[in-house]
Amino acid sequence: MRKLLLAVAALLLLQACSLFSNPFEDSGKQARGEYLVALLGCGSCHTPGALLGKPNLQQALAGSDTGIAWNNPLLEPLPGILYPPNLTPDIETGIGSWSVQEVARMIRTGLGKHGQTRWVMPWPSYGKLAEEDAIAIAFYLKSLPPVQHKVPADLKPGQKTESQFIHLGVYQNTPASAPLSK
């Protein structure tokens, strides 16, 4: 009888532990996701300060206050701007309310909760990821400690902003500026 009681107690304890443990703990998937996130440079846009060359690693992947213009600021003084969002699982400011499948779909297709995003985030290249790799990335992101950090709202062309932004462009190497042409 005592043995039975002990067994029941152990079972209850096990159940309690699984109730409180992080459902996104799976060391294999997490490690694969972490490796891919580092390799694919997600933090180079999604970590605060990274777009200005000074990433705040205390808030890794918690979103950027510096935006990225998606049309040419040399032609349009007030371009449209996207702010790389917070990828930690904070419910209010991050991807806490996204499912693993929704995050994986966004990475591979650019199709987020609010529709199709522009080609600022390189999802056409990430589309080549195997589905299980996109799932591993999503799983890893959902296992991170949540960081509360709200990024500015995206802007349409013509809207003013006080926050900084960068522009990813293609710049031509003219013979005068190319170092090898000397």
Distance from C-alpha of 58 to C-alpha of 35, rounded to nearest angstrom? 18
Report the site for ligand HEC in 67-86 (rule: CB under 6 A): 68, 82, 84-85
One-character DSSP codes across 75-137: T-SS--EE-PPP-S--TTTSSTTS-HHHHHHHHHH-EETTEEPPTTS-HHHHTTS-HHHHHHH
Phi-psi region for residue 117, left (φ > 0), alpha (ψ -120 to 50) or beta?
beta
Residue 159 burial (CB count, 10 A): 12
* Residue 60 in contact with ligand HEC, rule: CB under 6 A: no
Among 50, 69, 95, 144, binds ligand HEC (CB under 6 A): 95
Spatial contact of 89 and 80, defined as CB atoms under 8 Å apart: no
Among 44, 72, 99, 164, binds ligand HEC (CB under 6 A): 44
Select 121 or 135, whichever has its Cβ closest to ligand HEC.
Answer: 121
Among 62, 69, 106, 147, binds ligand HEC (CB under 6 A): 106
Q: In sequence order, what are the beta bridge partners of 111?
A: 116
* Residue 50 in contact with ligand HEC, rule: CB under 6 A: no
Spatial contact of 94 and 86, defined as CB atoms under 8 Å apart: yes
CA-wise closest residue to 86 among 36, 29, 142, 166: 142
For the CB of residue 28, give the shortest distance to ligand HEC in the complex, in Å: 18
Segment interacting with ligand HEC (CB under 6 A) among 12-20, 24-32, 119-127, 158-166: 119-127
Here's the x/- map for ligand HEC, 140-169, by CB under 6 A: it reads as --------------x---------------
Select 37 or 135, whichever has its Cβ closest to ligand HEC.
Answer: 37
In the complex, which residues of this chain contact ligand HEC (CB under 6 A)?
A: 37, 40-42, 44-46, 68, 82, 84-85, 87, 95, 103, 106-107, 112, 117-118, 120-122, 126, 137, 154
